[in-house]
Structures are given as structure tokens and as C-alpha cells.
Copies of this chain bind each other. A is one copy, B any other.
Amino acid sequence: MATGTFDIIHPGHITFLREAKKLGDELIVIVAREKNVRHKPKPVVPEEQRRRVVEAIKYVDKAILGDEDDMFRPIMELKPDVIVLGHDQHFDEDWLKEELRKRNLNCEVVRIRVKEDCPLCSSHKIIERILEKYGGR
């Protein structure tokens, strides 16, 4: 299981999902709800649209929207063997492991260290390029 906002898809996402898929048989991705994105600017693209693009990526077996009230609810329902974090994802592994333990969720937490190198390898950089190019209204 992997999670993310996936606002504007770029090769960094692709690498993350490819590496995540290698860690199991089935990759389910939880796409962040707009309401729950607080650690960075709100996404531009509506959540259902983000979910559909993620689900169209080769390595993804299924993409679902997260739970607006309890991020652990889909994890408890699906009981993944592995939870995969991206190299720059803000979750603290120890905190996550402890929260999983409290809920009797016996799953591994693995952080993917592979960092993609491409010109605009984040939604933020793509947005910045757009603002530079179009100078806004």
C-alpha cells in the first residue's frame, strides 16, 4: 500500500509506484483527500480526477480515496503487508509503526529511497514553471 496526493503526475511518482509494486503482489494506492492535505498547499486537481490518473499507472492495481476523518480506516480495512513511503513523504516511520501497532496492524513500513531526477520532478515545480511561463492573471 502506498499513499500520496499525486496532484500533477511526474516521473518521481512513477518511480515511487514502480518501486512500491516490487515490494508485494498487489499495489493499492490511497489518494489523499483534499480536506486532509495540510502539510503543503491544497492540490489543484480535484481528488477523484487525481485518483483516476493514479489508477491508470501501470504499477497500480487499485487507487482509492483516503478517509476524510481517519487515515487509518482504509489501512484497517485492507490490512496491507507493507506500507510504502516516498523518499520525501512527511510521515515519521516510528510514529507510523507505533500507530499501526496500537491498532494491531502487523504491517511493515518501508521508505523508498530512490529519488527520481527529472527537470520538473514535483507538482510544485510544475506549478512554478506554469507561473513563470504565464505570469498569472
**Size category of the binding interface on chain A:** 20 to 34
**Of B9, B14, B46, B120, which contacts A46 at CB under 8 A?**
B120
How many of these chains are in the complex? 2
| Cβ-defined contact, A10 with B53, below 8 A | yes
Hey, which chain B residues are within 8 Å of A137, CB to CB? 131-132, 135-136
| Cβ-defined contact, B14 with A44, below 8 A | no
Q: Which of A24-32, A70-78, A97-105, A122-130 contacts B (4 or more CB under 8 A)?
A: A122-130
A57 is an interface residue with CB less than 8 A from chain B: yes
- Interface residues, chain A, with chain B CB atoms under 8 Å away: 8-11, 14, 17-18, 44-46, 48-49, 52-53, 56-59, 118-120, 126-127, 129-137
